[in-house]
Amino acid sequence: MKLRPAPSPDGDKSSLTGDMSLNRRQFLRYGFNAASGVLAATLGALGFAAILLPPSGGEGGDKSVLYWAKGREDEAWYGTKHLQPMMKSDFEAEAAKSNVGMSGAQGVWNGLPVIVNYVPHSQNSSKPIADNSPRFQEMAGYDIGKNYVGHATEYLLGNPDIFDPSGNLVMSFARCTHLCCIPGWQLVSNSFTDDNWTPGGGDDGGSKMFCICHSSRFDPTAIEVNRNANRSTGASFEYLGIRRAGGPAPVGLPIIPIIMNGDTIEASSDYTGWLTYCD
Ligand code: FES
């Protein structure tokens, strides 16, 4: 596993040719998984319902989504924005630097880890499907037993408020469905996090969300219906999520509906039952 190299102060990447393999100390620093270990432990101790209590005492919880760059202040594009509100224009500006027009960032919402991805769907949806023209893809979903669960298009017809396919942003809960580490948006540099894109939600590399713990991959452009279960009670639930592309994670990550407030990214707490599998 290769860590994504941090830029040197003078922008000279020739100084980054040393060993960038991951060791434990780097894991602790670079892994949002581990950097937010306190957060994860807190989640485990309090349970999700407690976390979702409105911090301000207002009804419906805190809608705002904040950047989370702890431990990555020097290399994440949003490193200077730690705990500032996420803005769509920030994602658009960052996406303009990408080969494929995508960008993503770690965030925190209501005390929960999330990942927001910008996909140039509106720009590409009328073009023929082709490599390196990312778009959201509504797909069939299968559970851990390979049983068909449903199709995203059908699900969205019945639940049109979950995800607006004409928009360019998608937000996912960032607890891995394998063992509940916190996946990141391209925390490492390897074939799964290259700046390229192929259609189909497969595992052929490029622009994936990556769980550093055991290398699970998730494709933020592949939208599917899936099924997961609460680890304590076994109660199962179906949800709209992004697809697991590879690795030991059994299923994909739930979507958290985005609510735009001008340029500011906020989120809805209407589907919190989907987020309980690590409780
Ligand atoms: S916890 Fe994410 S791959 Fe194991």
Q: What ligand 1 atom has the least distance to the C-alpha of 248? A: 3
| pLDDT value at residue 186 | 87
Token reading at 168: 């360019």
pLDDT at 91 over 60: yes
Name which of 141, 133, 119 is nearest 244 in CA terms. Answer: 141
Question: Are 218 and 228 within 8 A, CB to CB?
Answer: no
Give DSSP secondary structure letters for 197-264. Answer: --TTS-SSSSS-EEETTTTEEEEEEEEEEEEEE-TTT--EEEEEEEEEEESS--S-EEB--EEEETTE
What single-letter DSSP state applies at residue 152? H
Neighbours of 147 (CB within 10 A): 9
Helix, strand and coil in the chain, % to nearest 5: 20, 30, 50
CA of 210 to the centre of ligand 1 (A): 9
Determine if ligand 1 sits within 6 Å of the CB of residue 211: yes
Report domain extents, the chain: 18-275
| pLDDT value at residue 30 | 37
Task: Please tell me the distance from the alpha carbon of residue 98 to that of residue 47, in angstroms, as a whole number.
Answer: 38
What single-letter DSSP state applies at residue 188? B
Residue with the smallest CA separation from ligand 1 atom 3 is: 214
| pLDDT value at residue 166 | 76
CA of 188 to the centre of ligand 1 (A): 14
What's the pTM?
Answer: 0.82
Give me Rg for the CA atoms of the chain: 18
How does residue 36 score in pLDDT terms, banded at 50, 70 and 90? very low
Mutate to test the pocket of ligand 1, among 32, 214, 231, 278 (most ligand atoms within 8 A of CB): 214
Q: Identify the residue with better confidence: 113 or 51.
A: 113
Q: Could you tell me where the DSSP H helices lie in 19-87?
A: 24-30, 32-35, 37-46, 48-51
Residue-wise pLDDT tens digits, 134-143:
999 999 999 9
Token reading at 127: 């073009």
- At residue 11, the 3 state secondary structure works out as coil
Give me the architecture of the 18-275 domain, per CATH: 3-layer Sandwich (2.102)
Q: What ligand 1 atom has the least distance to the C-alpha of 183? A: 2
Residue-wise pLDDT tens digits, 212-227:
999 999 999 999 999 9
Determine if ligand 1 sits within 6 Å of the CB of residue 209: no
CA of 129 to the centre of ligand 1 (A): 31
Q: For residues 131, 200, 154 and 177, what is the CA-based torsion angle, rounded to 10 degrees? A: -120
Question: Are 231 and 277 within 8 A, CB to CB?
Answer: yes
Determine if ligand 1 sits within 6 Å of the CB of residue 249: yes
Question: Are 145 and 207 within 8 A, CB to CB?
Answer: no
Residue-wise pLDDT tens digits, 43-73:
333 333 334 433 443 444 578 999 999 988 9
How does residue 164 score in pLDDT terms, banded at 50, 70 and 90? confident
Task: Please tell me the distance from the alpha carbon of residue 242 to that of residue 195, in angstroms, as a whole number.
Answer: 19
Q: What ligand 1 atom has the least distance to the C-alpha of 247? A: 3
Average pLDDT, the chain: 82
CA of 264 to the centre of ligand 1 (A): 31
| pLDDT value at residue 2 | 59
Task: Please tell me the distance from the alpha carbon of residue 194 to that of residue 77, in angstroms, as a whole number.
Answer: 16
